[in-house]
Amino acid sequence: MVASMSTILKTICVILFAVITGIILSGAMYSWIDTEGIKHFSNVSPPENGEAQQLIEEKFIVPKGHQFKVAKIFDGDTIQVEGFGLKFTIRLVGIDTPELGKKGKKSQPYGQQAKKELTRLINKKTISLKQYGTGGYNRVLAEIFVGTTNVNLEMVRSGLAEVYRGKRPNGFDKNLYFQAEKMAKHSLKGMWIQGTAYQSPGQWRRKFSLK
């Protein structure tokens, strides 16, 4: 009975902490309770051998300032993180990196280099997030930080990302990013060495019907 009460109190404390200090995730999510009685939320596939409840259009809380572990790096601007009982995908907000070929399609020049640079910046490190809501494909839009280093901005400074040309979320400081892009272009860093042969990731996606 004491152990059961302890588990309940622990779960309540986790939820209260998240509500007090959190930021919101939305979209289709799953919830399940592990063998220790702890409740988990995730917007990726739940455990194969466990019962999970799908929760659609609910709102979930990710604590501000919480440190997350990088679980997977998909390309230069998309990663998966885990922590605090959550596992979810992040689209680095405000930037666009060269595309990696999928299903046998051709990769864009500097697509592999962009992924390698992001890996160098965040692999085996813990990160914190500044969230700007949820975008397409049920991905969290966020600036990611290693300590005080803004990784999104570093990708632009390296010449391996351009400023995203589509609609940007409210509160996002685009000016810093455009300044960084201008300097990278002027210095012919990374992908900018291509000069007039350069194609934006958006152009490449349209050309090869990606995403």
Catalytic residues: 91, 99, 139
Range list of β-strands (E), the chain? 22-33, 39-42, 53-63, 68-73, 78-83, 86-92, 95-96, 126-134, 140-146, 149-150, 162-163
Are 114 and 75 spatial neighbours (Cβ–Cβ below 8 Å)? yes
Q: Which residues, at least 6 apart from 142, have a Cβ–Cβ distance to it below 8 Å?
A: 90, 91, 92, 93, 129, 130, 131, 132
For 190, phi then psi, to 5°, come to 55, -125
